[in-house]
Structures are given as structure tokens and as C-alpha cells.
Amino acid sequence: MGFLHTINEMLTSRFGELGPLYALGFVGVIFIIATLPIFLKKSVDPLDRLKSQSRTAASKQTGKEKSEKALRHTSKSAEKLDKFANFLEPQDAEDLSAARLKLMRAGYRSKSSVRAFHFAQFALGIGFLMLGVLYAIITSTAKGGMETQGLILSILIPGGVGYYLPKYWIERRVQSRQEEIINGFPDSLDMMLVCVEAGQSLDQSIVRVAREIRPGFPALAEEYEIVSHEMKAGKDKVQVLKDMGERCGVNDVSAFVTVLVQSATFGTSIADSLRVYAAEMRDKRVMRAEEKANKLPTKLTLGTMLFTVPPLLVILIGPAVYRVAQMGDIMSR
């Protein structure tokens, strides 16, 4: 701290009260200018050449082919982020796959979701950092100066908050979607069992269940729709179910996928498997409700102690304390 105090005095004597702020801003600008060319430097990718050639060929197609191409065309904002893919995406394949899985569990399935997430972190971090600088300037001007430690904290803390805000949002989205899937999964199993026993195949029952539960549980309906589309596209049914369990990140869904895979492997009846597992999920939902009900008295204990015991003590002991205080005044006289 003595070193920082010496630097603060030197900058204040040379540049005035805002000298430390000027020095910090200058160092930040130097760092940004020095690092941006390294991150933004991008070599020509052969895949980009193929994309440009395919776009040129697509411009010569008929009107119907052009409309189909337009449906598959990405948005302009996504194309702008493609230029900074090396800067906005992890270069490690495992980190990139983990980030995509996290965003898929949060409900963001677009190809550029990882880039948009890191761009939001970068933009909000810089934006909140600038707000911190503005706050430091206004505060130092109003108070006639600030300490170096307070100046640094007032600038860096908003920047850190802005950087971690998208991550907090994704975590909350994942938790809310998983909770919605857990709440709606037993009802969807009961509906699927009814459809299978009525004579429909597993694919048709999944489509029907996705359409029926959408008003109440849209997240679970989206997962079922993805499963139905992948099955229609010809993807292996076992792999489709495993992908659903991985996307949801819920133990109940993973166990359900295991039941269906084992039923298809050993040739047992899907209706019987669904009947047993649906009953188990109903019992599990009841147990979760009972668990929350049993936790409620424990959670209310602290509130009861804070808002009931102090007023009761005041009512019971207050008059006695008042009389003792009066007697003490009389005896002191």
C-alpha cells in the first residue's frame, strides 16, 4: 500500500486530483490497443472460400431454390460475429462443446449462441467498466478527490459485474428450464402411456405429447419436438434419446431414456415400461412435495424467532425494566 500511496502522490502532484484516473485509463487503452490486433487477426479459412462459392452458385438458382436457401440463411448479426469467431469462441474443442451444451440446456440452440454469449460478456464488461470510470470521475469531482484503492475498486467492480452478468443469466435459465422439465415430466409420461396403449407408435405419441403439453411446459415440449424431428430425419432412435437426456441434464429424463433403450434392446413392451416408470415418477413427485412441506417448518423457525420472540420479550419484560429504571432514579436522588 505504501507503493500505491507514493504513486498516487506523484500523479496528484503532476496532473492534479484526477491524475490517478488519467493514468489508469491510459494504461487500459494501451492494453486494449496492444491485444486487439492479436485476437482479431484471422487467416483465410478454406471453408470461407467454399461458402463464398456456394453463395455465388446460389445466386444463379431458380426462385424456389432461392427461397429455400433464404430459409437456411443466417441472420446479419450472426454473420458479423462470424468475423470474430477466433476471438469469441474457445479454441479447445472440449471447452467449445461444453459451452454449447450449457447454452442448449438454457434454451439457446443457434449455431452462433456461443459467440453471442462471449460477445455479451465482452460488451457488458466494457460498458460497465466505462460506467465505473464515469462514476469515479463524478465522485472525485464532487468530493475533491478519491483514494487510489477506492478509485480502482469503483472501476473494476462494475466491469466484473458486467462480465459475469451473462453467466449468471445462463445459470438461472438452466435452473428454471430443468425445474420446468422435472415438474412436467410425469404428466408427459402419463399422456405418452395413453397414446401408446391407444395404438400409436412411440414417434407419434411423442409428437402428440409435445403438442398437448406446450401451453403448460414449453421447454419440455421443445425437447420432444426435437426428438420427433430427428427421428423423422432418419437418425438412430437410441442416439436421439441419449441426446435428449444429455440436452436436458435431468436425472429423471436420463433414467427414462435408459428405460426406453433397454426396452428396445431386449424387445419388451414399451407400454409396460412406460406404465411402471410413469407410476414411479408420480410417486417421486409426491415425495418431492412432501420433502418441501417437511422443510417448511425449519425455514419458518428463523422468521418466527426474529419477528415473534423480540416483541414477546418486550411485552413481558418491558414493564419490569421500566419500574427498575424508575426505582434507580429515585434511589439516586
Give me the residue label for grid cell 465482452: 122
Per-residue pLDDT for 27 more than 80? Answer: no
pLDDT for position 250: 85
Q: What are phi and psi of 56, to 5 degrees?
A: -65, -40
Q: What is the fold of 176-285?
A: Receptor-associated Protein (1.20.81)
* Angle of helix 309-332 versus helix 270-307 axis, rounded to 10: 10
Give me the residue label for grid cell 458486467: 162
Confidence of residue 72 (pLDDT cuts 50, 70, 90): very low
d(CA 33, CA 310): 60
CA angle 23, 25, 29 (to 5 degrees): 115
d(CA 52, CA 149): 52
Per-residue pLDDT for 287 more than 70? Answer: yes
Query: What DSSP state is assigned to residue 201?
Result: -
Average pLDDT over every residue of 150-159: 80
Instruction: Kindly report the pTM of this predicted structure.
Output: 0.64
Give me the residue label for grid cell 434392446: 265
Per-residue pLDDT for 44 more than 60? Answer: no
Per domain, the residue ranges of the chain are 7-35+81-174, 176-285
Give me the residue label for grid cell 506523484: 10
First to last CA, the chain: 56
- Of 91, 77, 156, nearest to 120 (Cα)? 77
